[in-house]
Amino acid sequence: MKKVLYFPTEKKESWQSFIELKVKELKRGLIEINSGNWQLKCRDIIYLKNLCERYNLTIVSINSYIPETIISANSLGFESSLELEFAEKSKRTFDNEIINSLQSPSTFFHQGTLRSGESLDVNEDLLILGDVNPGAIVSAGGNVMIWGRLLGIAHAGKHGNDHAKITALQLRPVQLRISNKIARGPKEKPEQGLAEEALIEEGVIVIKPAKNS
């Protein structure tokens, strides 16, 4: 039977000490991590994985109120889920680009992976929490932000916006389009947990580490 391990609700102590005590109380089996409003980076999740394995526990999913935690979990191959309701209630405590996008009326939000044959076409900015698989197509009038892997086709600034960007945890698309420019994704794998962005510089599409990763 799957168990759920909750992080402390208040940040008065180290979550590492709290979680280690909780893990010791659990028996072997499957475990779901709910980190609440604690932001976890890749190294934190690796620490959790190693700690759980020490006590014969296997992490099956990671839930969080923080989008960056979901990005880190996805990059390490964990199933994960973003709790949007809490993020909206607590939006004043977050001032990063992702939460601002979630709050913005000019951003269309989609949660879930787009599979081959599926498409998503919007006039505003587009934020996707999930992968865009080969054979899937997404397009937006503004920026395209994919907190997952871009393996299909993405078009940002479709109405001629040369300042639009495409951001993803992994940019490995069949094709990238920004305004009227077209490019393919790089073959090299990105650094683990490092988001990438594509934008137009000097008339061509370039790909570089995302500024807010």
pLDDT on residue 193 = 52
Q: Report the distance separating Cα 206 and Cα 184, nearest Å.
A: 10
User: Within a 10 A sphere around the Cβ of 212, how many other Cβ atoms?
Assistant: 11
In the predicted structure, residue 33 carries a pLDDT above the cut 50: yes
The residue segments making up the domain with residue 52 are 3-92
Which of 92, 114, 148 is the C-terminal boundary of a domain? 92
Mean pLDDT in residue range 183-209: 78
pLDDT on residue 89 = 43
Q: Report the distance separating Cα 75 and Cα 53, nearest Å.
A: 19
- Looking up tokens 């001032």 gives 95
Claim to verify: residue 52 and residue 105 sit in the same structural domain: no
- pLDDT tens-place string over residues 93-145: 333 455 455 445 577 888 788 999 999 999 999 988 888 999 999 999 999 98
- pLDDT tens-place string over residues 43-87: 999 999 999 999 999 999 998 887 778 878 877 888 887 765 444
Q: Where are the beta strands (DSSP E) in 87-203?
A: 107-111, 119-121, 125-129, 137-139, 144-150, 153-156, 166-171, 175-178, 181-183, 196-201
pLDDT on residue 191 = 54
CB 138 within 8 A of CB 155: yes
pLDDT on residue 190 = 55
Handedness of CA 196, 199, 202, 205 (dihedral sign): positive
Which of 92, 124, 144 is the C-terminal boundary of a domain? 92
In the predicted structure, residue 42 carries a pLDDT above the cut 80: yes
pLDDT on residue 27 = 76
CA 77 to chain centre: 12
* Domain tally, the chain: 2
Q: Which of 20-29, 67-76, 123-132, 173-182 has the highest mean pLDDT?
A: 173-182
Q: Report the distance separating Cα 87 and Cα 71, nearest Å.
A: 15
Claim to verify: residue 124 and residue 66 sit in the same structural domain: no
